[in-house]
Structure 1
Amino acid sequence: MVEENNSDLINEAQKFFEKGKYNQAESILNQLILRNHKEPLIFHMLGTIYYDRGKFNKAVRAFKRALEIDPGFTDASVGLSIILNDLGRYDEGKHIFDEAHQRLEKKKQQTDPYINEKFAIKHDELGELYSQYKKYNDALEQFYKARNLSSRKAEISLKIVDCYQKLGADQKAIKELEKIIQAFPSFETARLRLAKIYVSKNQRQLARQQWEKVLENNPENKKAKDLLRQLDSGKQIELT
């Protein structure tokens, strides 16, 4: 009977939690803890509530408790790694996240797009963080992982291109852009970026081909029109 009552309380707390009624949810969750009920979901919800209130240290303890009970609790791992990054504990956050990712792969369960996207978002965030600190090789590693897991392949590929350009590796940037265009022929941003690199390398006819392709797909693209006009007039091409 006690176990059934605990299950009812968890369900009730979860309903409040999902509706954003954190005060009510917290009250029930604390009751369950006083009963010594060891369910990782309890501590995961508490960790999220504490994080929302800016109580980061309490949130860290709650998420860690969830992982002590169930090391494979993915949501708690992701939540903990996000908080650690917010606190500037980047290496620790990355370690937690990578461990969770490795455990998930070892299980060899059926691919879950929702879980993959959550991991992709985290890799993407870490890539952005490394980019901010000009650690472009580390950023590349994270962006490649994000792209492999995410459905946002074109968007993340452009971040990979950015890193290669910052590293002065234009040929690698070109190859990445060519792959994007092959997969997404109507992706105008990729074609414009590729044309920009060609202009910087004085390969104007290759740039022309990309601008013309953009206008084939979208005759109203002002940027491609203006750049082609500058090319035909023999003026210096203004790239922004």
Structure 2
Amino acid sequence: MVEDKTSDLINEAQELFENGKYNQAESILNQLILRNHKEPLIFHMLGTIYYDRGRFNKAVRAFKRALEIDPGFTDASVGLSIILNDLGRYEEGKQIFEDAHARLEKKKQNSDPYINEKFALKHDELGELYFQNKRFNEALEQFYKAKQLSNRKAEISLKIVECYRKLGIDQKAIRELERIIKEFPTFESARLKLAKIFQERGQIHLARKLWEEVLDINPENSSAKKLLQTVKNDTQVELS
């Protein structure tokens, strides 16, 4: 299936990268870019690979592309700053680093949540428009930008999950949902969505555990009640 193949490519590239097998990782990452995948991590990994090989100009372009997609991607900012310093572009490297530091500081402060939310809403609306027109990579890029600015991070993260699912990258969707659950443990929708993926994959024991967790949070959640009861009924039929 196309979905499984794409998911396998993403997982394989990241595993190869983490194990230092850069030649093989680069080949897969370039395939993903040709398929128009716009995830900052892809460009960050490529930037690191190019830097390791001394291909500094290509590394600069890759890190800059990662930052265009997600300006808050601190690892890409640090990587870009280091390369610019190596190239003797000290002032530019210093500025990149200071900008990254300023973003981190800004997160700690109450800058202007109203203005940030207005920008986030525009990115969110554009993401929805791309999504409705089945341009899922562009939608993913906009939702990342919206999440960076918005206080509605859990809600927007679910839209990122839907993009990954439409792109056939279920492993990324699963990891994003697990991250949401960790950051927002009482957010029932994330557990329900993750349970749905497990149910579709036939991993009923994992789905069941999540439905039970939802009911621990909210005993009146009708969706979790219904799905859990359906599974129990199916189990009883099999045993009879």
How high is the TM-score relative to the length of structure 2? 0.52
Partner of residue 14, structure 1: none
Match of 1:184 in 2: 184
Mapped to 2, the partners of 1:150 and 1:222 lie a distance apart of: 29
User: Does 2:206 align with 1:199?
Assistant: no
Query: Counterpart of 1:112?
Result: 112
Distance 1:118 1:186 in 2: 26
**1:132 alignment partner in structure 2:** 132
Q: Distance in 1 between matches of 2:195 and 2:121?
A: 29
Matching of residues 56-75 of structure 1 within 5 Å = none
**1:157 alignment partner in structure 2:** 157
Unaligned runs of 5+ in 1: 1-97, 236-240
* Superposed CA offset, 1:10-31 (max 9, x none): xxxxxxxxxxxxxxxxxxxxxx
Larger radius of gyration: 1
Equivalence for 1:62: none
Alignment of 1:42-53 (within 5 A): none
Alpha-carbon distance between aligned partners in 2 of 1:222 and 1:114, rounded to the nearest angstrom: 34
Deviation at residue 195 of structure 1 after TM alignment? 0.3
Cα RMSD for the two superposed structures: 2.6
**TM-aligned CA deviation for residue 112 of structure 1:** 2.3
* Cα distance in 1 for residues equivalent to 2:167 and 2:194: 16
Q: Give 3-state SS (helix, strand or coil) of 2:185's partner.
A: coil
The aligned residue for residue 219 of structure 2 is 219
Give deviations 1:144-172, integer Å, cap 9, x for gaps.
01001100001101110111111111111
Q: CA deviation at 1:215?
A: 0.6
Other-structure match for 1:146: 146
Which residue number in structure 1 is paired with residue 229 of structure 2? 229
Report the Cα distance in structure 2 between the residues aligned to 1:163 and 1:182, rounded to whole angstroms: 20
Alignment correspondent of 1:49: none
Moved more, 215-224 or 140-149: 215-224
Q: TM-score, normalised by structure 1?
A: 0.52
Q: State the one-letter code of the partner of 1:215.
A: L
Q: 1:32-62 CA distances to partner (integer Å, 9 max, x unpaired)?
A: xxxxxxxxxxxxxxxxxxxxxxxxxxxxxxx
Amino acid at match of 2:113: P
**Letter paired with 1:155:** E
SS in 2 for 1:197: helix
Same amino acid, percent of matched pairs: 62
Name the count of aligned residue pairs. Answer: 134
Give the 5 Å matches for 1:22-41. Answer: none
| 1:89-104 matches, cutoff 5 A | none
Mind listing any 5+ residue stretches in structure 2 that lack a counterpart? Answer: 1-67, 72-98, 236-240
Q: What secondary structure sits across from 1:234 in the alignment?
A: helix
Distance 1:114 1:222 in 2: 34
For 1:65, the equivalent position in structure 2 comes to: none
Whole-angstrom distance in 1 between the partners of 2:226 and 2:127: 34
